[in-house]
Amino acid sequence: MGSIYLVTGTDTGVGKTIVAAWLAKRLAAKHKVALVKAVQTGAQPLVDGDEAQYRRLTKNPALSTYTLAAYPEPLAPLIAARRAGATIDARKIARECTAIAKRHEVTIVEGAGGLLVPLAKGYDFADLARTLNAPLIIVIRPGLGTLNHTMLTVEAAERRGLAIAALFCSGLSPKPPVVEAENVRFLRERYPKLPLITLKKATKGQLAKLAMGASAYGKVPALLRNTTIKRSRLP
């Protein structure tokens, strides 16, 4: 079976889908890759959902994309399913992820919102990561507030014995203002053993090609070691 990674965030709207697609596009040059949206809420997967975004951004028909469950209201999966008169079988979601991973070298599973968002009764995305034995890709914002959100997420992961593959700071300004530069610096100092990758804020043209600038601080995460990524000093 191939490797599985779970992409989670410090909050909703932090750039998980962009990071997941960016990773998949890079890895698909040398590996058989799957992109999986575990549960989509508030959108139609192949119209305006994350799977549609995966396909638009990666533009690679050899890259497999999946949505395992979808519900109409933009709510946490447990609540969205309940309001739709349904129940999410989290174990089935995990089995489907495992089955996909058996057919691919790398499988990237995107969660919904943050690490402790409820997926089913008594089961959250941290539990899914544990079930899948999937290291976390934690996506964070660069601006004010990110230190508290990031440290809480890292602490929650560590308390649950979950491995963290990397922190991804999405949307860093091309010329970072003081708050963004100092946040990156603080997190690098706070977590010297964790790879920290920054993705620059992209123009529409750059985003369409997933061509935003990327920099690695500290060691490059294992899943990116066979790709080209710029090693940088702190901004």
With contact defined as beta carbons under 8 Å apart, do 58 and 25 qualify? yes
- Alpha-carbon dihedral angle through residues 155, 157, 160, 165, given to the nearest 10 degrees: -130
Nearby residues of 12 by Cβ (< 8 Å), 6 or more positions away: 112, 113, 114
For 179-214, give one letter per residue: b (16+ CB within 10 A) or e.
Answer: ebbebbeebeeebeebbbbbbbbbeeeebeebebeb
Of 16, 30, 32, 37, the active-site residue reads: 37
- Residue in the structure block whose two tokens are 């964070």: 140
Q: Residue 209 catalytic? A: no
Catalytic residues: 37
